[in-house]
Amino acid sequence: METILADVAPLAANGAVADYIPALAEVPADRLALSLCRTGGEPVGAGDCDQKFSIQSICKVFTLVLAMNCNQGERLWSRVGREPSGDPFNSMVLLEIERGVPRNPFINAGAIVVADILAAEYDKPVETLTTLISELAEAEITVDERVAESESATGYRNRSMANLMRSFGNLEGDVEPVLDVYFRQCSLGITANQLTRAIRFLANDGVDPVTGRQIVNALDARRINALMLMAGTYDAAGAFAYEVGIPCKSGVGGGIIGVVPDRAVVCAWSPPLDETGNSLAGRAALTRFVSRSKLSVF
Amino acid sequence: METILADVAPLAANGAVADYIPALAEVPADRLALSLCRTGGEPVGAGDCDQKFSIQSICKVFTLVLAMNCNQGERLWSRVGREPSGDPFNSMVLLEIERGVPRNPFINAGAIVVADILAAEYDKPVETLTTLISELAEAEITVDERVAESESATGYRNRSMANLMRSFGNLEGDVEPVLDVYFRQCSLGITANQLTRAIRFLANDGVDPVTGRQIVNALDARRINALMLMAGTYDAAGAFAYEVGIPCKSGVGGGIIGVVPDRAVVCAWSPPLDETGNSLAGRAALTRFVSRSKLSVF
Amino acid sequence: METILADVAPLAANGAVADYIPALAEVPADRLALSLCRTGGEPVGAGDCDQKFSIQSICKVFTLVLAMNCNQGERLWSRVGREPSGDPFNSMVLLEIERGVPRNPFINAGAIVVADILAAEYDKPVETLTTLISELAEAEITVDERVAESESATGYRNRSMANLMRSFGNLEGDVEPVLDVYFRQCSLGITANQLTRAIRFLANDGVDPVTGRQIVNALDARRINALMLMAGTYDAAGAFAYEVGIPCKSGVGGGIIGVVPDRAVVCAWSPPLDETGNSLAGRAALTRFVSRSKLSVF
Amino acid sequence: METILADVAPLAANGAVADYIPALAEVPADRLALSLCRTGGEPVGAGDCDQKFSIQSICKVFTLVLAMNCNQGERLWSRVGREPSGDPFNSMVLLEIERGVPRNPFINAGAIVVADILAAEYDKPVETLTTLISELAEAEITVDERVAESESATGYRNRSMANLMRSFGNLEGDVEPVLDVYFRQCSLGITANQLTRAIRFLANDGVDPVTGRQIVNALDARRINALMLMAGTYDAAGAFAYEVGIPCKSGVGGGIIGVVPDRAVVCAWSPPLDETGNSLAGRAALTRFVSRSKLSVF
DSSP per-residue codes, C196-215? HHHHGGGGTTTB-TTT--BS
pLDDT in the model for residue B128: 98
Given D85, D225, D229, which is nearest A86 (Cβ)? D85
Q: What's the rounded Cα separation, in Å, for the pair D165 and B283?
A: 44
Q: What percent of chain D has pLDDT over 90?
A: 92
pLDDT of C263: 96
Q: Is B237 within 8 Å of C87 when comparing Cβ atoms?
A: no
Is B252 among the residues known to form the active site?
Answer: yes
CA distance C181 to C69: 18
Nearest residue of chain C to residue B206 (CA atoms):
C298
Q: pLDDT tens digits, chain C, 298 residues: what are they?
A: 899 999 999 999 999 999 999 999 999 999 999 999 999 899 999 999 999 999 999 999 999 999 999 988 889 999 999 998 866 667 888 898 889 999 999 999 999 999 999 999 999 999 999 999 999 999 999 999 999 999 999 999 999 999 999 999 999 999 999 999 999 999 999 999 999 999 999 999 999 999 999 999 999 999 999 999 999 998 899 999 999 999 999 999 999 999 999 999 999 999 999 999 999 999 999 999 999 999 999 9
Residue D92 is nearest to which of C96, C166, C175, comparing CB atoms?
C96
Contacts with C156 from chain D: Cβ below 8 Å: 163-164, 166-167, 175
SS3 assignment, position C252 = coil
Nearest-angstrom CA–CA distance, A92 and C134: 52
- Mean pLDDT value across residues D223-231: 96
pLDDT in tens, B98-134: 899 999 999 999 999 999 999 999 999 999 999 999 9
Asked if B289 contacts B47 with a C-beta cutoff of 8 angstroms, the reply is no
The Cα of B145 is separated from the nearest Cα of chain A by a number of Å equal to: 22
Position D89 scores a pLDDT of: 61
C46 in helix, strand or coil? strand
Whether A238 and D81 lie within 8 Å, measured CB to CB: yes
| Nearest CA-CA partner of B38 in B231, B210, B191, B189 | B210
- Which of B113, B252, B259, B260 is an active site residue? B252
Distance CA A169, CA A117 (A): 13
pLDDT single digits (tens) B226-238: 999 999 998 899 9
B61 within 8 A of B49, measured Cβ to Cβ = no
CB atoms A222 and D298 under 8 Å: yes
**Buried/exposed code over C73-88 (b: 16+ C-beta within 10 A; e: otherwise):** eeebbebbbbbbbbbe
* pLDDT, chain B, mean: 95
Closest D-chain CA to C89:
D97
A204 touching D (Cβ < 8 Å): no
- Return the H-helix or E-strand segment holding A14: none
Pairing label, strands C248-250, C255-260: antiparallel
Per-residue pLDDT reduced to its tens digit, D71-98: 888 899 999 999 988 666 678 888 988 8
Interface contact C174, partner D, CB < 8 A: no
Residues of A in contact with D248 (CB under 8 A): none
Decide if C163 and D160 are in contact by the 8 Å CB cutoff: yes
Catalytic residue among B8, B17, B27, B60: B60
Chain C CB contacts of D97 under 8 Å are 90, 93
pTM of the model as a whole:
0.94
Average pLDDT over residues B179-191: 98
The neighbours of chain B, by the rule of 3 or more Cβ pairs under 8 Å, are A, C
Q: Which pLDDT score, from 0 to 100, does residue A87 have? A: 65
Residues 6 or more apart in contact with residue D81 via CB below 8 angstroms: A238, D98, D101, D102, D103, D104, D110
The Cα of B22 is separated from the nearest Cα of chain C by a number of Å equal to 32
| Residues facing residue C248 across a β-bridge | C258
Count of alpha carbons within 13 angstroms of residue B4, beta-carbon side: 25
Range with the lowest mean pLDDT among A12-21, B3-12, B77-86?
B77-86
DSSP E strand stretches across D2-138:
16-17, 33-38, 44-47, 53-54
Return the pLDDT at D92. 86
Q: Given a contact as 3+ CB pairs under 8 Å, which chains touch C?
A: B, D
Residue A91 has pLDDT above 90, yes or no: no
Question: D166 to chain C: nearest residue by CA?
Answer: C156
Whether chain B has a CB inside 8 Å of the CB on A166: the answer is yes
Dihedrals φ, ψ of B258, to 5°? Answer: -135, 145
Fold held by A2-293: Beta-lactamase (3.40.710)
pLDDT at residue B94 tops 80: yes
Interface test with C, best of B68, B78, B80, B83 (most C CBs within 10 A): B83
What residues in A contact B159, CB-CB < 8 Å? 159-160, 163, 175
Separation in Å, CA of A68 to nearest CA in chain B? 28
Taking residues A76-83, report their average pLDDT.
Answer: 94
Active site residue B249: no
| Side-chain-facing half-sphere of A273: CA atoms under 13 Å | 21
pLDDT of residue A92: 86
Chain Cα centroid distance, residue A73: 22
Tens of pLDDT, residue by residue over A180-190, are: 999 999 999 99
User: What does each C-alpha distance from C252 to C13, C265, C289 come to in angstroms?
Assistant: 16, 20, 21
Given a cut of 90, is residue B71 above it in pLDDT?
Answer: no
Task: State whether B167 and A161 contact (CB < 8 Å).
Answer: no
Query: What are the φ and ψ backbone dihedral angles of B139, each rounded to 5 degrees?
Result: -165, 160
> Least CB-CB distance to B242: which of C82, C235, C241?
C82
In the 8-state DSSP scheme, what is residue D53?
A: E
Q: Which residues in chain B are closer than 8 Å to A161, comparing Cβ atoms?
A: 160
What pLDDT does C98 receive?
Answer: 87
pLDDT at B38 over 90: yes
Radius of gyration of chain B (CA): 18
Amino acid B222: pLDDT = 96
Phi, psi dihedral angles at A74 (to 5 degrees) = -70, -15
Question: What are the boundaries of each domain within chain D?
Answer: 2-293
Q: How far apart are CA D62 and CA D69, in angstroms?
A: 11
Residues B130-139 as b or e (16 or more Cβ within 10 Å = b): bebbbbbbeb
pLDDT of residue C181: 98
Q: Which residue of D has its CA nearest to C98?
A: D90
